[in-house]
A and B are shown apart, each in its own frame.
Chain A
Amino acid sequence: MSITRLLILSFLFFAFNTSAESLPRQKFYFKGKVKSDMPKSFKISFLEKYPMSVIKVNDPYQGDKEFSFTGISLCQLFDLFSLDKASSLEVTAINDYVATFTRKECDKSDIYFVYKQDGKYITTELMGPLRIVRANLGVVDKLKLAKEGVYWVWMVQTLEFK
Chain B
Amino acid sequence: MIETTFSKRRYITSIAAFFSVFVIVISIIYISYYHGFKELRTSQLKVYSFRLYSRAYLQAIAANYDTLKLLTDYRVTKNFENAEDSFVRLKSGLGIFQALFKESWKAGVRESRIESARAEEIIANYTKVVAEFDECLNGYESTGQMDFEKLESVERQIKDLTRILSFSEANYWKNRAQDFDDLLSRHRLIRTIFFTLSTLLVVLISILGLFGYKRIQLEEKIESNRMKFIAQSRMASLGEFSASVAHEINNPLTVILWRIKMLRKSLLEIEQDQELAKIIESIEVQARRIDQIIKGIRTLSKNTDDLDSEYFDLKQTLNQLHDIIVNKSLTNDFEFQINHGPEDVIIFGKPVQLIQVVTNLINNSIDAIANREERWIKISWEQDKKNVKILVTDSGEGIPKEQQDRLFELFYSTKQKHGTGIGLTISSQILNSHGGKLIYNHHSPNTQFMIVLPKAEMNHKKVNYV
Question: A-side interface residues toward B, CB under 8 Å?
Answer: 25-27, 60-63, 94-95, 123-128, 142-143, 145-146, 154-155
* Majority secondary structure, B binding face: helix
A-B contact count (CB 8 A): 57
Tell me if B102 and A124 are in contact (CB < 8 A). no
Flag if B106 contacts A63 (CB, 8 Å): yes
Q: In this complex, what residue of A is CB-closest to B85?
A: A27
B106: which of A26, A94, A142 is its contact (CB, 8 Å)? Answer: A142
Q: Name the contact of B103 in the complex, choosing from A27, A61, A128, A143 (C-beta under 8 A).
A: A61
- CB pair A25–B99 under 8 Å, yes or no, is no
Task: Please report which residues of chain B, range 35-78, place their CB below 8 angstroms from some CB of chain A when the two chains form the complex.
Answer: 41, 44-45, 48, 51, 59, 62-63
B98 touches A142 (CB 8 A): no
Task: Find chain B residues with CB under 8 A from A95 CB.
Answer: 59, 62-63, 92, 96
Whether the pair A125, B99 counts as a contact (CB closer than 8 A) is: yes
Question: Please, which residues of chain B bring their CB within 8 A of the CB of A143?
Answer: 41, 44-45, 48
Task: Please tell me if B94 contacts chain A, counting CB pairs below 8 Å.
Answer: yes
Given contact pairs A142-B45, A143-B44, A146-B48, A124 touches B84 in the complex (Cβ within 8 A): no
A142 in contact with B88 given A61-B102, A155-B95 (CB within 8 Å): no
Interchain CA distance A155-B66 in the complex, whole Å: 15
Interface of A is mostly: loop
The residue among B41, B87, B89 with the most chain A CB atoms within 10 A of its own CB is B89
Contacts A61-B103, A95-B62, A127-B99: A146 and B51 contacting too (C-beta < 8 A)?
A: yes
User: In the assembled complex, which residues on chain A have CB atoms less than 8 Å from the CB atom of B92?
Assistant: 94-95, 124, 155
A124 and B99 alpha carbons, distance in the complex (Å): 9
Within 8 A of A (CB), among B198-227: none
The verdict on A142 contacting B99 (CB below 8 Å), with A25-B87, A94-B92, A95-B92 known, is no
Given the complex, which residues of B lie within 8 Å of A128, measured CB to CB? 95
The answer, yes or no, to whether B91 is at the interface (CB within 8 Å) is yes
Taking Cβ atoms with an 8 Å cutoff, the residues of B that contact A are 41, 44-45, 48, 51, 59, 62-63, 84-85, 87-89, 91-92, 94-96, 98-99, 102-103, 106-107, 137
18 contacts between A and B (CB under 8 A): A25-B88, A25-B137, A26-B88, A27-B88, A60-B103, A60-B106, A61-B102, A94-B63, A94-B92, A123-B95, A125-B99, A142-B45, A143-B41, A143-B44, A145-B103, A154-B99, A155-B92, A155-B95
A95, closest chain B residue (CB): B59
B44 and A127 form a contact (CB under 8 A):
no
Q: What distance in Å separates the Cβ of A114 from its nearest Cβ neighbour in chain B?
A: 15
- A79 CB to nearest chain B CB (Å): 29
Q: A127 vs B92: C-alpha distance in the bound complex, in angstroms?
A: 8
Cross-interface CB contact of B98 among A25, A125, A145, cutoff 8 Å: A125
Q: Which residue on A lies nearest to B130, using beta carbons? A: A124
A25 neighbours in B (Cβ, 8 Å):
84, 87-88, 137
CB distance from B110 to the nearest CB of A (A): 15
Taking a contact as CB atoms under 8 Å apart, the answer to whether B94 and A142 are in contact is no
Nearest chain B residue, comparing its CB with the CB of A63: B106
Closest-by-CB residue of A relative to B108 is A142
On chain A, the residues within 8 Å of B48 by CB distance are: 142-143, 145-146
Query: B99: which A residues are within 8 A, CB to CB?
Result: 61, 125-127, 154
Q: Which residues of A contact B107 (CB under 8 A)?
A: 142
Smallest CB gap from B91: residue in A: A124
